[in-house]
Each structure stands twice: as C-alpha cells, then as structure tokens.
Structure 1
C-alpha cells in the first residue's frame, strides 16, 4: 500500500518533467541529477521510501514560477537549492557578468575575495586556493564551461540557461545598474555599474542607506 502511494507521487513529479527539452537540460547540465532520476525505470522510483522527499518536490513552489514553452528554470532552481551555500553565493555573484562574457579565473577569485564570499582558508592554504576549489566544484557540476587553460589561470563561460538561473536567484543580492535602472531592492549587497553614460550616482541609489559607493 505504501509503495503504491509513493509510486503515485513519483509519477506525478515525472509528469511535470515530461514536457522539458532533454537537449536543453543536457546543455544546462545543472539538472543532470534530476534528468538521471527522470530517466530511471519506474521500478527504481518505487524503491524510493522517503515519502516526504517526493511530496516536497511535487508541492515545491518553483513549479508555480511563470513559465514559457520548454522553460526548465524550475527544475534548474531545484538543483540550485541543493548546492552547498558557498557555491550558491558564488554562482549568484557571476550573474553580474553579461551573457556570453569570458570569465578569467583569477579575476573572479579576486572579486569573490573582495566581497567576502570565500570561506576562511584551512591550514597551509591561501585564499586563492579556496577560490580555485570553488571553481573546480562549479566545473565538476557543469555549471561553468572551461574555455582555455593557461596553467596558472583559465578562462571559462557560463551557459545562457545557467546565467538565467544565476540572475533569477541573485535578484535580491546582486544588481547590474545602468542609466535606465529605476528600482533596486533595498537588500542588494553587490552592484555593478556598466553604462558609459553614467557620470554620477544614479538617483535610485541615493535613497539606499546601506549602499556604499566607492570611486
């Protein structure tokens, strides 16, 4: 009886996934864990004994996000929620870069350091070692893609779908500001100014008490 109940829950979860583009999911790769689960046989799903896990996935609020055809953001966000907190913060920070921009590992690590996103180094480690470990973790999870390895540093890119995810999860902490920006969440901690037309502090920031501006 319990097996039948769990089977029904799992089946409804798979129904939510069936419309997704497998090609897009494979490109994003952040959802590879969910993809593997959805491709497993139904018998393996029946072996799932933790009822609360399946109910949590089925009822998760991410399925209620505004979606378009073949939109896989909800599944990607489900995977993001299972990342370690340090990787969540660092991935969200990368949303400040533009799509298709080439990242340089050393520069990214320096920005992470400057913004307090790295854990304190362990014995015989440097801050750079911690940053490199984070980047290697993101690479191993296919959240970023290696472009060129220059031995002492490397360049990498982020897939458009992963960048969309980073933008979505970083809305309340990171913000790119230009001359047309009208609103900024009061809890934003990281700002990137990327408009040559900007000659002063945007008016929208003048009312934010917690923002510090450095020339």
Structure 2
C-alpha cells in the first residue's frame, strides 16, 4: 500500500468526515448481510485506517487483528479501539500484508476502500489466502472501475488503481485461490457532481 505519509498526516481528523462514517456503516451492513459471522470467528482487517469498520463489526466476531501500513492510522485505531472498550478483542498493528508477515490464521478477512491503494493486488490476495483457513471468507469493499480517474483527480500523489472491473477482480481472486466470488452494490460515494459506485465482493478460500 502506498501514500503512507498522506494517511499519517490525515489520520487524526479522518473520522471527522461524515462521509467516511456513512460509508463504513454501509459496508458493515453489507458484510453482515453477505457473510455468516459468528462469535467464534477470528477476523483480519486489511488496510483498516482508523479501525472504524472493525469496531462496527466487533460484536459479530470473537476477535479482530486490525492492520494498516500507516503508523498514524494505527495509532488512531488503537485510541478508537480503547475508547470503545474493545481492546480485549481488537488489536491494531502496523503491517503491509504484501511485505510484512503476521502470525495466526483467520476465519474471515475484510477490507474497505484499501485495495485500490495496493500496487501489487495479486500479491496481497495471495497473502490473504495464506492467512485464511480453508473455507475462510473474504469481503472486500472498493470502487467500481473509474477509467477516467475522476475519483482521485484531486490527489496528484495517487498512484493506485482507478477502481476495479468486477470480472477482472474475479479472475484475480480465482488465481489467488478463492472460489464463490460474488458482488453486490454496497453504497455510492458522492464526489463533485458524480456518484461513484462501491461494491462488496465476497469470496471463499478454497
């Protein structure tokens, strides 16, 4: 994942953007509708930012390891988790799952608006597949294909992906060892005079 410095700088005020909260609530609802979560599950949050999605889903699973490459985001996530009284079950660690090995195996992994920042998507998906148990579930929320790059037009330092074509992402997931790939529309993000679609993609580690 790239742009660590920008996210370090923005971490402290990230949750003040009402749009971020609206998005995470919508993604949490979509995950609950698409994935059978239960209190025995060990969950992994990929590119968690401030950890808000995992805090929203905390009561549905047993524990969550919250990861992000940005030290600033991880620090804020630790503070948010403690303030929510969840630090007995949620743990935030600085890690780029493409390059930083982490311990444990997980029953479910989720991600919201992180994948498009990852330069080597295939390497990340292989890494996640290696951390999930057989039959483990993956839920990724991200932008639908934005070929004009309009969503990030105001971010000159952005060097990630302009959303994802659903068929192409299905093929990437299949190569990484996932089956049962499915998509639903999770929400939309208003920006400028446009609405950008946000999908939830679920898959099973085969």
Determine which structure has greater relative contact order: mean sequence separation of CA pairs < 8 Å that are 6+ residues apart, divided by chain length. 2
Q: Whose helix proportion is higher, 1 or 2?
A: 1
With structure 2 as the length reference, what TM-score do the two structures score? 0.26
Q: Of the two, which has the highest radius of gyration?
A: 1
With structure 1 as the length reference, what TM-score do the two structures score? 0.25
Q: Whose strand proportion is higher, 1 or 2?
A: 2
